[in-house]
Structure 1
Amino acid sequence: MAQGQERSDIGGGSVLRRKTDSGRALHQARAMTLAKALRLGLAKTGDDLMGLTLAALSIRVEEVAGDALETCFDGEYLLMLLDGPGGRPAAAALDPQLVGALIQQETMGQVLPDLGGPPRAMTNTDAAVTAPFVDGMISRAACLPDDAQERQLIEGHRFGSRVDTPRLLSLALEEPRYRMIRIAVDIAGGVRQGHMLLCLPLPEEAPVTGTVDTTSDAGSNPAARPRTLGDGALLLNVDLTVALARLRLPLARLSALRVGELLPLDSARFDLAEVLSPAGGRLVRGVLGQIDGCRALRIVPEETGGVVPHRRATDREAAGQPDPVPLGGAPAPQGDALWESSDTLAEASVMPDLSDLPELTLTDPEDPLPFDGLAEAQGLPERKAG
């Protein structure tokens, strides 16, 4: 009896397992995955945007490390860098067969069979013609997957720029892991076959809860690793030199220096220290001192001369400023008074007495120059007329 009960339990477990597996398979068959979304987005974009029949023959998905991307791209493909949300770019690559079919459909309205021969080099014109197709396929496929992570993986990406070589493209992709999607495309009902590749950065992992040791090195702490090339550049060390004085010496004097010689540093002052860049230029000024027994430099602001703006006469009333007054205290002339005769201007009491200055006369070009006596007094060679 016990043995029969055990067999019944085993049989029941097998039935439940088969039902569970069957339900799971049915759900997976009906679920909209990223691969199915791309298949529909490819066909829909080709039909709506270009009137071209496109079908995905196969879709292969794999995960690739960021430092191995260069070997995944073919230099003969049209390489595109895609702008992504959060400053995380992606990439797309189209082979010459697919690019040629899209251009023929766009320019001639039909796709011709491939005649063979070596592929031509891709250009910016090719990227400009095919960029709307790539953007349309991604935007149509982004809203279809049932899984929120798959929607996050593809949504928000659009064409950014064309890249010349696989190496440059791999350098622009800085995330640690990517999902590589390879699509074999049937073009115009079998007239051609092409290939397309999408390289999408995987979503960032959730931050680890708890206390994070910020004193550890960035290489051992994944949360502290830089996300972009700019973040990595800001983590680099830069050596700065603080100079108290600068000394100029002739090259002969510099090469003749010996051990034990003293150089005068008369201009050395702690309050005039300069922070020098690696190239030797001055960055800022500072005051050299110490804090808690350690040498320290306090940065001081640079003194910049102020510029006094010149205001128009029409602006003085709105600015609440009085009209300028001449040196003699007389009111400034207004209106037509500016054009009074020169006799009125000559009577102004502010003119200094000029009676002790020598009289200047205009001489004829044939006469001696009036400055010959001055030249003789200063020991200069005498100038001749003409």
Structure 2
Amino acid sequence: MPDRRASDDRDGLRQKAQAARRRQDARGMSLEKAFCRAFARAAEGLWDLAVLAREPKSILYDQEMAVRALSNCDLILLLDGPDGQPGFAGFDRTLVAGLIEIQTLGLVSAMRPEERVFTATDAAMTAPLLDDALTRFAGYAAALDEEPAAEFRFGAMLESARSAGNLLNASAYRGFTAALDLAGGRRHGRVVLLLPVPEHDDAADEPAGTSRGRPHEALMLGLPAQLDVVLARVTLPLSQVRDFQPGDVLSLPRGALGTAELVAGPRHRISRGRLGQVDGHRAFRLSDALGGQPQAAEPAPDTPTAVADAPARAAPPPAPRALPETLPDLPPLTFDEIGPGK
């Protein structure tokens, strides 16, 4: 049978050797250089990818400065941190493209990255490098008697810097930035890391067994959500759209108020229903839920379909009417009359 004591001794020796190696690496190294080395070593260890990290900077940000720093990033990530404190990371588009290529194609190309909206899958492709670099950075920092990256890990993708701003709950953030050159400069861009500065207080510890819940649950539930009501979708020839003038009126289908849709963002339908008013306020009565399914291949509510080559025999568009000074009131919705199951 294998000697468990010998195995434990080997594990202990391995941990001591790793700690000694980190101290050796950190000797004579600043925290900024440690940040660069963490990403270079992580890429080399994961994919044998040569990464040159340069121009490191370490800046203390307040919340407004932190949002501005993230607004310059194409992909913004939420980091799960200790005690529910979130951190943030940002990547340029070119870096994300290179990380996707090395994991799917096994190489990094010099092609121009595609201009598109990033998805959660794109964000997840950055997780191996980010988590490995954070682990190494924490080790280097510990050797320098600092703990700027301890326990931070990839969490989720954020849609915008504004969304990140709603999650900022520390008074100050320590920011690290560096320029990364992938595969000899085939792709290059900046990476940004924002970590909350710990606030020391004398608050008592939570009782044993107290559950903290999911990371950032309260913060995420408090994010604003924009919902819009779409009355109808109209397809128009491009020639008519080009002739639009202020005051022009578009005709909507009859009964549009009763077949309205509640949407989140440009392409996710939530429910159908009826638009009206109650006590002088706009109101929307739900009829059936759509489960947030994306729309089929239809134009977005605010995007007319462009028909560049409209047939010559097409009927000319109706002459625009003057816009009335006051819009008609919406029909009332008597919610009190709606019984169960209706």
* TM-score, normalization by structure 1: 0.44
TM-score normalized by structure 2?
0.49
